Structure 1
Amino acid sequence: MISFCQPTKVGTEAKYIQQALESVKLSGDGAFSKKCERWFEDSLGCDKALLTPSCTQALEMAALLINLQPGDEVIMPSFTFVSTANAFVLRGAKVVFVDIRPDTLNIDECKVEAAINSRTKAIVAVHYAGVSCEMDMLREVADRNSIYLIEDAAQAIGSRYIQRPLGTFGHIGCYSFHDTKNITSGGEGGLLILNDVSLAERAEIIREKGTNRSQFTRGEVGKYTWVDLGSSYLPSELQAAYLWAQLQEASYICATRKAIWLRYDEAFRPYKDKWQVLLPEIPAHCEHNAHIYHFRFRDQELRDRFIAHLLQQGITAVFHYVPLHSSVAGKKFGVFHDQDNFTTKASQTLVRLPLFFNMTYDEVSQVVSTIMSFFEEHS
């Protein structure tokens, strides 16, 4: 059986985890955590990078940092994971969903400004499949309306927009190190990226249960105490040690995934018109990280037959998000602005192919040949 996804393993994770086990500190903000955060600050050029136990919790911190209040509104795509919405709904916000672009499946930047009103507090840009949203226009809209721009860059580590890393365009960015992502910190994990230095001090406080413990540890205050809202948003040193191993091989991981992505694309793109499928579209000014390779079929029935055919041949391919605005909670906590021209259609017709770092050449070849045989029978 070829699984849809496997967590990345580079082979040195156990060595660094053992070093963490031999240290005197296993809780957050230890030596490995600090090394990982410095790595991101250097590679991203951001003001501050803080590890979190998950991207979900990084998004929750973002909602706290922008002082979201009940009745505030946050604009985002409906074609995203539930964490994108939950983080803001937990603070009492109303989610305003807008449609996606038909090419990249990212939020349609041309639909955003019409959804803004006096209650709007933030725009959340979700970089689907590691392909960038149109960040220049989204930042202009946010600045013009004096609202926050937050990047849900869960899938986008290693991706760029006009040569600049994703996660660094908004006031706040969030990465995921879940085991389905290109880089993992042992199955779960995340990163809060701060591109507004004025948010850094409060972010440390929120992350430390609302205390000024980080300042106390650095000798900046004489004692630490409860000073603000917060929760426990620090990962353990074991997570950071696992992540550190993968950061040493980040370029190799990305190159390996890109090679698999390109094998798929070179095999399938010549047939896309004959097969009547849509393949990933990467704008020229975007550098993606090969997080997802997907097909979009002409209808859901053919998509489902395709998934079933691959499964019969021992290959797991999966669909993706059910639109949040159509869910029970989405109807309760949100509203779709304007028309849904592409969101539901994408959900009903998209399938993701197996793609992971440790995937073998033979496994990729088997996927390609099985897909070819399916279309020989159905086109």
Structure 2
Amino acid sequence: MRIPFNKPFLAGRELDYIQQAVTAGKLSGNGGFTQHCQAFLEQRYGLGKALLTTSATAALEMAALLLDLQPGDEVLMPSFTFTSTANAFVLRGARIVFVDSSPAHPNMDVAQLESLITPRTRAIVPVHYAGVACDMDAIMALATRYNLVVIEDAAQAIESFYRGRPLGSIGHLAAFSFHETKNVIAGEGGLLAINDPRFAARAEVLWEKGTNRAAFFRGETAKYQWVDVGSSFLPSELTAAYLLAQLEELPRIQARRQQQWQRYHAALQPLAAAGRVGLPTIPAYAAHNAHIFYLLCANSFERQALIQHLAARDILAVFHYQTLHNSPFYAARHDGRPLPCATHYDECLVRLPLFFTLTEAEQQEVIEAVSSFFAVSR
């Protein structure tokens, strides 16, 4: 497509840093670039401990391991999310209890949470869809009341805030993504944030394949041994080098994306006011990061027609998650509750192109194409 949905980009010194990593002769994980990225993210967002991972999926899998889940333990999460959110816990034998989305936003409807908590519930996994915060005060209050662990799926939420607090710094654990579709990219890559000290030491062991290798190289233990379960969660120094260059340009990247998001919102507001299309709703407590700009069509048929209308003009727009409670893999394990709001977003949401190098002229083409569709579609 002439105007793709997303396009990976260079923001600054990515290639220079990759060359530096090669020249230094350290390409495997947990070298200088990895440690620099982790320190940057800990300091900027007030994270207790940050561990770079190969993906947000890997970060979620580490979080699930830290919980020592047993078969039959329950984890609450939205149905309108990516498979990784659920897979991490299913791999440990957990039962997923899906929460419907809010009528106002694809995030989980926090008002439903307490009614779904049982003696088997171990964790709540809020997903900050499009970088827009869930109601974290309400979630953390429930977690305290019922002794639950909160794992923020902040894959889309770098540089987003809840009442001034960075997302990913509020829950006991959090997962971020640096996939090429995110605001800050490394091709593939992620981060586990450990904000509860009781998980910090073990998280590093899991991260280092179940060994105390990191502590050994810091001189904290006399031997380098296998001490727990774990896996190869570390990204290479090449990934970390690319990521560091992006993090250094974070203010410029974010300013550009916010400008693009606001341009879409202002230009398409008349369509929303006329009842032709739905636009994103941002709660008063949330400061979002302009990760996604989405529209809500009347139904799946209108959405498909819009996608085809844009494709005919060489513009790629895409829908998003298919609800997990209706998925071929998990439908038979779901408890049968209808989740109408999640289903609505599944059927009606469409995402418009939004990426760092999208030009104003290209964005105007997208706006005019969307406007022309709704001018003639009904």
**Same fold per TM (> 0.5)?**
yes
Match of 1:345 in 2: 344
Match of 1:247 in 2: 247
Q: Decide whether the 8 Å contact of 1:85 with 1:95 is kept in 2.
A: yes
TM-score (norm 1): 0.98
Whole-angstrom distance in 2 between the partners of 1:331 and 1:23: 50
Question: What amino acid does structure 1 have at the position aligned with 2:312?
Answer: Q
Trace 1:249-328 onto structure 2 (pairs within 5 A). Answer: 249-328=249-328
Instruction: State whether structure 2 residue 24 is matched by structure 1 residue 23.
Output: yes
Match of 1:45 in 2: 46
Whole-angstrom distance in 2 between the partners of 1:327 and 1:43: 38
Match of 1:201 in 2: 201
Match of 1:369 in 2: 368
Match of 1:230 in 2: 230
> How far did 1:266 drift?
0.5
**Residues 120, 229 of structure 1: alpha-carbon distance in 2 compared, 3 angstrom cutoff:** same
Whole-angstrom distance in 2 between the partners of 1:117 and 1:375: 46
More divergent stretch after superposition (268-277 vs 238-247): 268-277
TM-score (norm 2): 0.98
Whole-angstrom distance in 2 between the partners of 1:34 and 1:167: 19
Q: Per-residue CA shift, 1:301-322, capped at 9, x if unaligned?
A: 1111000000001000000011
Equivalent pairs counted in the alignment come to 377
More divergent stretch after superposition (240-249 vs 278-287): 278-287
Whole-angstrom distance in 1 between the partners of 2:86 and 2:204: 23
Q: Decide whether the 8 Å contact of 2:271 with 2:371 is kept in 1.
A: no
> How far did 1:108 drift?
0.6
Q: Decide whether the 8 Å contact of 1:97 with 1:337 is kept in 2.
A: no
Question: What amino acid does structure 2 have at the position aligned with 1:306?
Answer: L
> How far did 1:231 drift?
0.4
Question: What amino acid does structure 2 have at the position aligned with 1:61?
Answer: M
Compute the RMSD of aligned alpha carbons: 1.0
Percent identity over the alignment? Answer: 52
Unaligned runs of 5+ in 2: none
Unaligned runs of 5+ in 1: none
Q: Decide whether the 8 Å contact of 2:160 with 2:288 is kept in 1.
A: yes
3-state SS of the aligned residue for 1:136? helix
Q: Decide whether the 8 Å contact of 1:8 with 1:183 is kept in 2.
A: no
Q: Per-residue CA shift, 1:251-285, capped at 9, x if unaligned?
A: 11111001000000000012213252110001122
> How far did 1:119 drift?
0.8
Q: Per-residue CA shift, 1:322-360, capped at 9, x if unaligned?
A: 10111111225x425743120111110110000001111
Whole-angstrom distance in 2 between the partners of 1:361 and 1:234: 38
3-state SS of the aligned residue for 1:267? helix
Question: What amino acid does structure 2 have at the position aligned with 1:348?
Answer: E
Whole-angstrom distance in 2 between the partners of 1:336 and 1:308: 36
Q: Decide whether the 8 Å contact of 2:49 with 2:200 is kept in 1.
A: yes
Question: What amino acid does structure 1 have at the position aligned with 2:207?
Answer: R
